A and B are shown apart, each in its own frame.
Chain A
């Protein structure tokens, strides 16, 4: 019963958003160029759904690949850094130099160095997810209660075992936030990456839309990206619930 009520609230908020959109567009208060209405949206969907599906597929492959590789690399390097003061001292400046580089800024350099293939596009997503996850991993490792590590060490675990059996499971709840942020960012990154000469993908579709100020296409792209991101987030949450059943947060 209570769960039902909560679902209704979620439903309501989506309904209100859609309601506002319908009100603004159907009343004619806002012109379609500024905010396309249901008519424009319907039209653009019916005329180009095939193209859009094709673009979506390409985008999804780049996003998923980049997100998974970048996040995994971030976790692994983060664990490495947090494991040893010397590694940390060595890696920290490199990470700190790389981390803030705006992906937009290196697009021309990446193209110069690597051309316009799938590699530099994926790399941009990998890089973006990597720097998000690595920082959170280092923080999460620092926040693992010492007593668990101490207990493991007195039970004979070496540094590697401690990492595998204690640090890794203990940081999962804290990592979830970072992974979710990285997943969200990966969609923004893949769009930026597809600015680098991709000839397909939602990012490409968006550039074309921007060039012609086709706000209907822009809106459709945003809806698609949001939907994909939402689905990804739901998947992460389901995975999380399975991985952190032991945690207090679910009781």
Chain B
């Protein structure tokens, strides 16, 4: 049992921190990058590719680096810290994760190779309007005619869906179960819009749209989709952790520098104590994030699902607590779009609602409380 990074991991962290910080340490550049579609900086996407970050999760055969979940999590934390808008989580972890888990060797080499090289952006489209974090394919149906597949239905919201060159769409199969399909972005009717944190999502309307099955045609991929979603949740929690760390740091900086009534704010004990409570939330969330991240490589699919629920719940609660208190302890300045703290709170809200709300995870955990005695941290 070991909660520390090794030297290679530390080096990766420094490299990503350097690259992300160079781009977005000045918050105004983040604001500029998200002002218009596609909601991120294409040049920075290319730099991430050059550094090898976009291929981290994929095997060398697929054009990637073959790094483990700890490395991926660490990248997410660093990107979260500066609210980097590049779609690493949506495109690499989620959509790329689906391709890696379900694609044929050819599909993997093609899509993941180009993704790793920064040549394309992928998106995963698995949510139907009104849908709530389920792995079934409600809302889109697949039809087959000979070897030709088509999809019909609506997916909304699809993070980065309008910019994606290829979209990985889940759909109900004619013989039951859920399949995954590669759809050309240009073949879909897409409506782009901004979410409240400046990131982009889209509505995708499919109407007999040509689609290529990912992997073996007709195979039910529900469990694969569920596990990749769970991994994405855990990585989203890593990203949220980075956001919260930055918020706690910004808040303590502000309290020690901002003056009111002729003294710095850290003269006021009530504010300091609330900052202490933020730190407690942060550390507890951090622990579950590390644990869940390690579970990805060391646990079963059920363990990963359990870890995703646990970290999802904890990080959602911590995100509300820290995100709200960070604004409150700053006061008005943090209400503005010009300052990172409030936008961080917006980003935490978007991550939570995209990947799974607290009550969703709590309900799933509640259903299982009778299945065990105490929850054991060490297997």
Question: Is chain B found bound to chain A in the same assembly?
Answer: no
Binding site for A on B (CB under 8 A): none
